[in-house]
Amino acid sequence: MLLKRCLVPLLAGFLAWTSPAAAQDTMQIAAVVNDDVITVIDLLVRTRVALVASNQQDTPENRARLVVPALRNLIDERLKQQVARAAEIEISDADVEERMRQLAAQNNMSVDDFKQGLMSRGILVDNFTDQIRAELGWVRFVQVWFRGQADVSDKDIDDQIAESQKHTGTPEYSIAEIFLPVYAADEDTLVKQNAEQLMQQLRAGADFPALARQFSQSATASNGGLIGWSRADQLDPAVAGAVAMMTPGNVTGPLPVAGGYSILALRDVRNNSGEPPSREEIRDQLRRQRLDRLARGYLTDLRNAAYIDIRVQIPQSP
């Protein structure tokens, strides 16, 4: 990966750009990702979407916490779009509308009310649907590209059932995550800082599922980060240790995990009844887990091989 400039100086520029006259410069290139560009306005829009989705006020402080994660997310999104285009993955308007309906339902709103809510807070519906289209394209690409490697055998299911029954009575945790990957050793500190900025947003009352949808690079992102029910032995050791100390409703992190950093929310705790889910549910769960691992690894490879050039200081919202 070629990254010509670090992201730290961008923060100062983002906060310092206060003149309304700066609006004319929002079409400047903020970053180049292989053959694609991210404009300053793209970054401003994505930051505003994150603020609106997480119910945070548009203040310089809140923008400061989200601008760098937003740029990083946009870079990854461009990479995902590029491989989906190369694989001729197409997402129909009906697919996008169905995803919009799901998001509206999660907010107890009709689709029309959901769209009106976006527009009332300065977000064009087209900007939001472009993000949905990119998300759906990547999911479909992963499902197609890694289909054979994610197959689950009957023996896999039998083993999972036996393991569940062996742990009858042990605690199970309903967890949600925000996963931020570290693509190279020299960006570990930056990614940890990004995660800490998201934690500050959560402590200030930001909506966890909304931030997960905007910034998490796990397959759970589209579901608000929800992993589902897991035993301690099924979790990363750092995650297992953390959730054992949490009570439902708590959020913790960032935690160093394999491949990056995670922020966790504990939704609930129960004891394993010994009655496993249906075989089809187990198959789906194992397949999702395998696809997630494969997708994380592939995205890391894409990022490390990409030409990425950060070009401008990032302005404040005009």
Residue corresponding to tokens 């029309």: 112
Asked if residue 64 belongs to a domain, the reply is yes
Regarding whether 281 and 235 lie in a shared domain, the answer is yes
Asked if residue 20 belongs to a domain, the reply is yes
Asked if residue 316 belongs to a domain, the reply is no
Regarding whether 283 and 252 lie in a shared domain, the answer is yes
Whether the Cβ atoms of residue 246 and residue 266 lie closer than 8 Å to each other: yes
What is the CATH classification number for the domain harbouring 37? 1.10.4030.10
Its pTM stands at: 0.79
Domain that holds residue 217: 167-300
Regarding whether 95 and 19 lie in a shared domain, the answer is yes
Per residue of the chain (318 residues), give pLDDT as tens.
Answer: 444 444 444 444 444 443 444 445 556 888 999 999 999 888 888 888 888 877 778 888 888 778 888 898 899 999 999 999 999 999 999 999 999 898 888 878 898 998 888 888 778 888 888 889 999 999 999 999 998 899 999 999 999 889 888 888 889 999 999 999 998 888 898 889 889 988 988 988 888 998 998 889 888 888 889 988 888 888 889 899 999 999 999 999 899 998 899 999 999 999 988 777 889 998 998 998 899 889 989 998 999 999 999 876 654 433
Regarding whether 138 and 79 lie in a shared domain, the answer is yes
Regarding whether 176 and 86 lie in a shared domain, the answer is no
Asked if residue 305 belongs to a domain, the reply is no
What is the CATH classification number for the domain harbouring 212? 3.10.50.40
**Distance of alpha carbon 129 from alpha carbon 93, whole angstroms:** 9
Structure tokens at 134: 């990119």
Domain tally for the chain? Answer: 2
Asked if residue 204 belongs to a domain, the reply is yes
DSSP state of 204: T
The three-state (H, E, C) secondary structure of 32-88, written as one string: EECCEEEEHHHHHHHHHHHHHHCCCCCCHHHHHHHHHHHHHHHHHHHHHHHHHHHCC
